[in-house]
Amino acid sequence: LLSFWRRRRKGRRLDRRLFRSIVVALVSPQDLRRYFEELGVPVHCFNARGPFGLARAVISLTAVLRGSKAGIVHTHLFYANVSGRIAGVLARVPVVISSVHNADYSNEDTGRARFKIRKLVDKITVLYMNSLVIAVSEAVRGDCQQHLGLDRVQVLHNWIDVDQFERSPGDVRAGARKEFGFS
């Protein structure tokens, strides 16, 4: 999300004549909220905690999507993916996209019932409610294909704005090296 804001500042952005963005968070995005609001992007937060909070969030999100006449829902992370998929279908949004950032099922399998239920919910909702899944790497794509039975996973590598890491002037670097005991 921060990358989006930085790109906006530099003039590279979604064409506002073609796209209208809305940010929805299951929990309050206090650290990024002001950036989006400065850009004129509405932010909705549902403060969803626990199963009942998630259920209320799905209902609220469905209302937001219907009211905004959304054409695309793009979600990130497990709870947002599941909630967004369900709300997208209920609101009849034509395109539902989920981004997957981790090889969760290969690396986090605890064998516990909670993990198995989470995987089942993810698998059912992604198979029947998603238009597309975006993975940030080939490893994540492989995890989705192997554990969720997905064939429609596209890889879109994380983008890094290297300009934000501008080199420091020599005296700043020399001072930092001296501070840490490096020659």
**pLDDT, tens digit, 9 for 90 and up, residues 73-120:** 999 988 999 999 999 999 999 999 999 998 888 877 777 888 889 889
Q: How does residue 11 score in pLDDT terms, banded at 50, 70 and 90?
A: very low
Locate 16 and state its tokens: 């506002």
- Note the pLDDT tens digit of each residue in 125-138: 999 999 999 999 99
Q: Which two tokens stand for residue 163?
A: 């300009």
- In the DSSP assignment, the letter for residue 120 is H
Q: Is 38 exposed, middle or buried (0-12, 13-18, 19+ CB in 10 A)?
A: exposed
Give counts: helices (H), strands (E), the chain: 8, 6
Task: Report d(CA 63, CA 76) in Å as an integer.
Answer: 19
The residue ranges of DSSP E strands in 67-141, in sequence order, are 72-76, 95-100, 132-135
Q: What residue type is assigned to position 167 of the chain?
A: R
17-67 tens-digit pLDDT: 888 889 898 887 667 888 888 888 888 888 888 878 889 999 999 999 999
Q: Would you list the DSSP string of 21-45?
A: --EEESS--HHHHHHHHHTT--EEE
Total residues belonging to the chain: 183
Q: Is 89 exposed, middle or buried (0-12, 13-18, 19+ CB in 10 A)?
A: middle
Instruction: Write out the two tokens for 159.
Output: 């983008």
pLDDT tens, residue by residue, 136-177: 999 999 999 998 888 889 999 887 766 666 666 667 777 888
Report the pLDDT value the prediction gives residue 51, as an integer from 0 to 100.
79
